[in-house]
Amino acid sequence: MKMTILTVIILAIVGLLAAQPLMTAGGNFVSTPGQGKYVLLSVSVNSGTEGTVSIFYDPNLLRFDRTDSDCPVASNHPGCLAVYVSPDCQMKFDARFSVLSEVPDYVFNVFLVASDSDEIGSSPAIESMHKKVVVAGVPAAPIEEQAAKLDVDVNPNPFNLSTQISLNLTSPGRVEIGVYDVDGKLVRKIASGEFKSGAYSFRWDATDDAGKTVPSGTYFVRIHTPSGEEVRRVQLVK
C-alpha cells in the first residue's frame, strides 16, 4: 500500500510528539549586585498536558519568591511548590528562589503528575515524570571525602494497606520524613528528630496526622538526612 505525502508527514509528526518527554526542567544560579543571589528554575511541560507540577527543595537553603506562570499556584509550603498546568495556560514557566545559605549545589526534585480529570488535585494519575535538577551554586573548598549517597527504599509501591520506608544512616544527625500530596501539603509526619547511625524502618499506613485514611492517589515520601534529601513517588491503590 502506497502512502501519500500527507500520511508520511502526519506519521512523522505523531512520532516526534511521542518521542518528546512530558516535562523538561533546568536551573541557573544567578548573582547580581542589585538583586542578590537567587536560583532560577525553568520548567517546560508538553502542550496539551494537564496535571500538577510539584517542586521539592530545601527550605533551609532557598525561599520561593515568585513564578512567571499564568497557571494557578496550587500551594506554596516551605520546601514544596505546586503549580497546576493545563492547555489553557502557559506551559513553560520560571520559578525564582532566593538563596538563604550558600552551598555548592542546590537540588530540586520536580514531579509532573498528569491527569485526565478537571479536578487535578484529587484525580488519579494517568502518567507521571520525575526530574532531579542539580544547580551549581558557590564552589566549595576541596574536601577529601564526599558525603555518602543516601540509601533509602520505599516498598511495596504501589501499595494498598501500608508501605515500608527503609533508611540506612551512615552518619548521625537530624532526620525528617514526611508524606505529601500532589499539592505539596504535608499529609503525615513519619519521623522527626536526632538519630544515630544505622538501619531504620518506618511504616506508613495510608493515614494522615489525624488518623484518617487518605484517598487513593499519588503521594510523595520526602526523606531529609545529614547525607542529603530524597523524594520518592508512591501510589496508593485501594
Which class in CATH covers the domain with range 24-136?
mainly beta
Work out the burial of residue 196: count CB atoms within 10 Å of its CB; fewer than 13 is exposed, 13-18 middle, 19 or more buried.
Answer: exposed
Cell of 190: 513519619
Q: What is the pTM of this model?
A: 0.79
Rounded alpha-carbon distances, angstroms, from residue 35 to 96, 97, 130, 135, 137: 12, 12, 30, 18, 16
Residue 4: per-residue pLDDT: 66
Q: Which residues pair with 23 in a beta bridge?
A: 45
Give me the helices (H) in the chain, please.
5-19
Q: Which residues pair with 164 in a beta bridge?
A: 155, 203
**What fold does the segment set 151-236 form as a domain?**
Immunoglobulin-like (2.60.40)
**Residue 200 to residue 172: CA distance in whole angstroms:** 12
**Residue 215 to residue 37: CA distance in whole angstroms:** 40
Work out the burial of residue 219: count CB atoms within 10 Å of its CB; fewer than 13 is exposed, 13-18 middle, 19 or more buried.
Answer: buried
CB 182 within 8 A of CB 54: yes
Residue ranges matching CATH 2.60.40.4070 in the chain: 151-236
**Residue 197 to residue 101: CA distance in whole angstroms:** 26
Can you give the pLDDT of all 238 residues of the chain as single tens digits? 455 655 545 544 444 444 567 788 889 999 888 778 999 999 988 877 888 899 999 998 999 999 887 788 888 888 999 998 888 777 788 999 999 998 888 999 999 888 754 443 444 445 578 888 989 887 654 444 444 467 899 999 999 999 999 999 888 999 999 999 988 899 999 999 999 999 999 999 999 999 999 999 999 999 998 888 899 999 999 8
Chain segment 66-120, per-residue pLDDT in tens:
988 778 888 888 899 999 888 877 778 899 999 999 888 899 999 988 875 444 3
Residue 63: per-residue pLDDT: 93
Residue ranges matching CATH 2.60.40.680 in the chain: 24-136
Residue 216: per-residue pLDDT: 92
The count of other CB atoms within 10 Å of the CB of residue 92 is 13
